[in-house]
Chains A and B, each alone.
Chain A
Amino acid sequence: MLTLLAVIIGFLYASSIYMFLRRSIVKLVLGIVFLSHATNLLLFVTGGLRSGEPAFTAEDGTVDLAAVSDPLPQALILTAIVIGLGITAFSLVLVYRFHQETGTVDLDEMAEQDKP
């Protein structure tokens, strides 16, 4: 499972960098989305993978450290996802306005237009 996740994370990082290197800013935004997903998965892995173990203590209040999974990375991912949502929404609106204003989503073409 860990190996699989590691490969997925690596793949996500690689594809996000590929997206960053494209010229279209729509793909740039997609690259940001991939990058934040990759990081969220990385955070998830750092807590250690334990299948089927909730992050709760037993009914009688005893804590078996070997049996509970670390709740903190999940809280961190939750926060990061919420922030990611806001940022993705903002960048999509930004790209939309950019397209409206310039009629293109290509940064080089935009720079061409601005030349006197």
Chain B
Amino acid sequence: MLFLPVILPLAAIVLLLFTYRMKRLQQWISIISMSAITVQAVMIMNRVVLDGPFAAQAGGWPAPFGITFTADLLSAILLLATGVLSLIVTVYSIGFMDDTRKTAGFWILIHGLVTGVNGSFLTGDIFNLYVWFEVMLISSFVLVTLGAERKQLHGAIKYVVLNLIGSVIFLTAIGLMYGQTGTLNMADLALRLRESEHTGLINSSLMLFFIAFGIKAAVFPFYFWLPASYPTPPVAITAFFAGTLTKVGVYVILRFYNLFVVTDLATWQIIVMIVAGVTMVSGVLMAASSYDIRKILSFHIISQIGYMIMGVGIATVLGLAGAIYFIVHNMLSKTATFLAAGLIYKYLGSYDLKALGWIYKDYPLLAFLFLLPALSLAGIPPTPGFFGKFFLIYGGFQAGAWTITIVAILVSIITLFSMVKIWNEAIWKKIPDESAARQKNPLPLTSLWATIVMAGLIIALGLLTGYLSGYFLEAGRQLMDVDLYIRTVLH
């Protein structure tokens, strides 16, 4: 049952390949398979909540030898969030994507992406993780270039090359790790690293891992591919990338940091904190100086990644729970802002803030659909963004990490500033050129409803935080409890 989140999208890909160019049928297959994936994620979540973490072995091989799939609460939460997200983006894309891209394999690729993401969340084997990363990356490479517009190709080259370098560094780190310990199973590796004496070699391969995942997650010195490539493809694709790809990087950093960092804890903590702080600040400053909605939102992704990494660095249950909550909140809010930006584009035909305006008067619902996730990103109560930052900042003060916490608070003020900038320019401002009769296009209904559901989810997550916080704290606890993970996999 633990393999189904990977098998279902693969089976959907087979069906989609056989029904190639049958547009309507492909849409229905996609919706049904994404719903099935979501239901499957709910079932895994249910089992983890009731019985605790569990594992499954591929091919019937016992744990350290075969490929292990493990689900603890963190994996289950992210799996569920990915399922819901991909369902919503699928529905959104039906109205949003143009026919050329739809028939050029968009549905197949989006299922490929989901396969890779689900596999990365579940696997308990570092080489298998590499394989899922590649599944995810190759799908995303083609999605970035789908349609092959000039701008897209330009952004795609940077995206492809930097991510490939990241993958190769990841593979190098796997090789070094295997050479020292002779195992690839994550639980077994955690066990052996504790007893190992070659701390220098371990730290160097861990640093390679950190760089590789840093490139995927877009943290400070490695994020340059993100603002170059994310604004170029159609916004439905960007929304899906924003919700899943970088979050997988963060998830892996969370997992690896807790399992494998066994020596020089203080130094690692300082490195992670510095990276987190600089990521936050540089992302938000670049966002404040941009004038294209998609660019602003892309820079915000970077800044928000900084918050999640900060949770990793705090390394208390509260900090980790905050990071996990923040990932879920960001998956929803970030995707929702992109979806709303896409609707604005459909409506007025531009992403440039200088050309937009007056949406508040013309289409109040659209204004609200953008405002809600934007406020959530800035962290205004009672949106989930507020609670995410609250957990992190509270955890940071409790752990005595003053500097990073104060940086986090300052950054959220600048975030508010740049969200207000979009609000002022795109939604409140009078049209720059009053005389020009602007063409207003009707919005595709599926896209509109998908965005409304997304907004509903954000409100629900914010209002239900009191009920849900127990799960997130438990997820943080399970993540810190390395022995529990080892026991789950090896016995």
Question: Are A and B in direct contact (Cβ within 8 Å)?
Answer: yes
Interface residues in A66-116 (C-beta closer than 8 Å to B): 72-73, 76, 79-80, 83, 86-87, 90-91, 94-95, 97-98, 101-102, 107, 110, 114
In the assembled complex, the Cα of A50 lies from the Cα of B176 at a distance in Å of 18
User: Distance (Å) between the CB of A81 and the closest chain B CB?
Assistant: 11
In the assembled complex, the Cα of A107 lies from the Cα of B176 at a distance in Å of 34
Q: Which residues from A are CB-within-8-Å of B175? A: 39, 42-43, 45-46, 73, 76
Q: Which residues from B are CB-within-8-Å of A76? A: 127, 174-175, 178
Q: Which residues from A are CB-within-8-Å of B172? A: 39, 42
Instruction: Check B160–A91 contact: CB distance below 8 A.
Output: yes
Instruction: Check A87–B138 contact: CB distance below 8 A.
Output: yes
Residue B360 at the chain A interface, CB threshold 8 Å: no
Instruction: Check B171–A43 contact: CB distance below 8 A.
Output: yes
Interface residues in A46-79 (C-beta closer than 8 Å to B): 46-47, 72-73, 76, 79
In the assembled complex, the Cα of A114 lies from the Cα of B151 at a distance in Å of 9
Q: Which residues from B are CB-within-8-Å of A42? A: 172, 175-176
Chain A residue at minimum C-beta to C-beta distance from B176: A46
Chain B residue at minimum C-beta to C-beta distance from A98: B153
Residue B161 at the chain A interface, CB threshold 8 Å: yes
User: Distance (Å) between the CB of A18 and the closest chain B CB?
Assistant: 14
Q: Report if A101-B150 is in contact (Cβ < 8 Å); known contacts: A39-B171, A43-B171, A72-B178.
A: yes
Interface residues in B98-151 (C-beta closer than 8 Å to A): 127, 131, 134, 138, 141-142, 145, 148, 150
In the assembled complex, the Cα of A91 lies from the Cα of B160 at a distance in Å of 8
User: Distance (Å) between the CB of B292 and the closest chain A CB?
Assistant: 14
Q: Which residues from B are CB-within-8-Å of A39? A: 168, 171-172, 175
Instruction: Check A110–B154 contact: CB distance below 8 A.
Output: yes
User: Distance (Å) between the CB of B233 and the closest chain A CB?
Assistant: 14
Residue B274 at the chain A interface, CB threshold 8 Å: no
Instruction: Check A32–B161 contact: CB distance below 8 A.
Output: yes
Chain B residue at minimum C-beta to C-beta distance from A93: B145
In the assembled complex, the Cα of A72 lies from the Cα of B181 at a distance in Å of 13
Number of A-B contacts (CB under 8 A): 79
Query: Looking at the complex, which one of A43, A80, A97, A107 makes contact with B148 (CB distance below 8 Å)?
Result: A97
Query: Looking at the complex, which one of A46, A83, A94 makes contact with B134 (CB distance below 8 Å)?
Result: A83
Residue B59 at the chain A interface, CB threshold 8 Å: no
In the assembled complex, the Cα of A94 lies from the Cα of B172 at a distance in Å of 25
User: Distance (Å) between the CB of B109 and the closest chain A CB?
Assistant: 12
Interface residues in B144-194 (C-beta closer than 8 Å to A): 145, 148, 150, 153-154, 156-157, 160-161, 164-165, 168, 171-172, 174-176, 178-179, 184
Q: Report if A80-B145 is in contact (Cβ < 8 Å); known contacts: A46-B176, A90-B138, A91-B160.
A: no
User: Distance (Å) between the CB of A104 and the closest chain B CB?
Assistant: 11
Instruction: Check A107–B178 contact: CB distance below 8 A.
Output: no
In the assembled complex, the Cα of A90 lies from the Cα of B422 at a distance in Å of 37
Q: Which residues from A are CB-within-8-Å of B142? A: 90
Instruction: Check B168–A79 contact: CB distance below 8 A.
Output: no
Q: Report if A101-B148 is in contact (Cβ < 8 Å); known contacts: A43-B171, A83-B131.
A: yes
Chain B residue at minimum C-beta to C-beta distance from A79: B131
Query: Looking at the complex, which one of A28, A97, A101, A114 makes contact with B161 (CB distance below 8 Å)?
Result: A28
Q: Which residues from B are CB-within-8-Å of A46? A: 175-176, 178-179
Instruction: Check B157–A72 contact: CB distance below 8 A.
Output: no
User: Distance (Å) between the CB of A113 and the closest chain B CB?
Assistant: 9
Q: Which residues from B are CB-within-8-Å of A25? A: 157
In the assembled complex, the Cα of A20 lies from the Cα of B165 at a distance in Å of 10
In the assembled complex, the Cα of A114 lies from the Cα of B148 at a distance in Å of 16
In the assembled complex, the Cα of A3 lies from the Cα of B148 at a distance in Å of 45
Query: Looking at the complex, which one of B157, B176, B179 makes contact with A94 (CB distance below 8 Å)?
Result: B157
In the assembled complex, the Cα of A73 lies from the Cα of B183 at a distance in Å of 11
- Interface residues of chain B, those whose CB is within 8 Å of chain A, are 127, 131, 134, 138, 141-142, 145, 148, 150, 153-154, 156-157, 160-161, 164-165, 168, 171-172, 174-176, 178-179, 184
Q: List 12 A-B contacts (CB under 8 A).
A: A20-B161, A32-B164, A32-B165, A43-B171, A72-B184, A73-B175, A73-B178, A87-B141, A87-B164, A94-B157, A102-B150, A114-B154
Complex A-B, nearest 7 residue pairs according to Cβ-Cβ distance, in ascending order? A46-B179, A43-B175, A46-B175, A42-B175, A39-B171, A98-B153, A83-B134
